Amino acid sequence: MNAASAAKAETPAAVAAAAGASRSAPRTPTSTQAAAPKPSAAGIVAPPSAASLFDARIENDTFERIREDIGPNCTRCKLHKARTNIVFGVGNPKADLVFVGEGPGRDEDEKGEPFVGRAGKLLTQMIEAMGLRREDVYICNVVKCRPPENRLPEKDEITTCSPFLLRQLGCIQPKVICALGSCSAQTLLQTTQGISRFRGEWFDLLGTKFIATYHPAYLLRNPAAKSEVWKDLQKVMAHLGLEPKRRNAP
């Protein structure tokens, strides 16, 4: 789907964060829910939060249970009206790295799998450049049904569907969450600031490391930004102890 770097989607208040140690203090997105958070004793600026997602997660939750709770014919928001398939997610349910996009596009809606169109092929190349395979990571979206005309998900749609994303993250408990584009980054950080304000910065979110970078669809329109995304991915690789298969940026 299209993901403009300065998209100003509103975000739900369902996300929780926990502050922890980091090598440098990231710049702080402005929250729509609270005043700007203060740095912790360790120098970390944490996204505003009430409690840890993993503390509040459903006991013995599983992907199968989440799928059952969503149901095969979900009508919780208006996105179901033009939906072909619910796009749950794909990849390793115990992955160290999770990529979160905004929502399915036309190809994803038809196939029922996230990131399978042109942007998905580029994401696969990015993953392989990191020394991983697509099946090594987990890939999902903020909303699980395609917004009409590939528009950004709206506030009510995000509020309705994002709890299922949070449950997925709670089941996986990855070492790194990488948001692709403004929508997913703003949703998880609870901010309306454009992604360019905090792209490439580390945050401690949901008890794990969080970083945001540009959406692959944005890179298709703006190839010059690929070098910036590669820098972000190299930070993730360093944190996970990965060696690239090739030196060139994807």
pLDDT for position 249: 55
In a domain, 227, yes or no: yes
In a domain, 86, yes or no: yes
Other CB atoms within 10 Å distance of the CB of residue 78: 15
In a domain, 17, yes or no: no
Q: How far apart are CA 239 and CA 99, in angstroms?
A: 15
In a domain, 104, yes or no: yes
Q: 80: domain CATH number?
A: 3.40.470.10
Print the domain residue range for 198. 53-240
Condensed to tens digits (0 to 9), the pLDDT of residues 71-87 reads 999 999 999 999 999 99
In a domain, 59, yes or no: yes
Q: How many domains does the chain have?
A: 1
In a domain, 1, yes or no: no
Condensed to tens digits (0 to 9), the pLDDT of residues 59-72 reads 889 999 999 999 99
In a domain, 114, yes or no: yes
Q: What tokens appear for 3 in the block?
A: 């993901």
In a domain, 210, yes or no: yes
Confidence category of residue 205, pLDDT binned at 50, 70, 90: confident
Tell whether the model's pLDDT for residue 12 goes beyond 80: no
Other CB atoms within 10 Å distance of the CB of residue 225: 17
Q: Which residue has the tokens 């958070």?
A: 37
* Distance, CA of 17 to chain centre: 14
Other CB atoms within 10 Å distance of the CB of residue 27: 11
Contact predicate 191/9, CB 8 Å: no
In the chain, beta strands by DSSP E: 90-91, 97-101, 138-141, 176-180, 203-205, 208-213
Q: Which residue has the tokens 């690239």?
A: 244
Mean pLDDT of the chain: 82
Q: Which residue has the tokens 């997925």?
A: 168
Distances in whole angstroms, Cα of residue 45 to Cα of each of 10, 34, 136, 239: 21, 14, 30, 19
More confident residue, 93 or 5: 93
Q: Which helix (H) or strand (E) holds 121?
A: helix 118-129
Distances in whole angstroms, Cα of residue 58 to Cα of each of 164, 174, 219: 11, 17, 37
pLDDT for position 158: 97
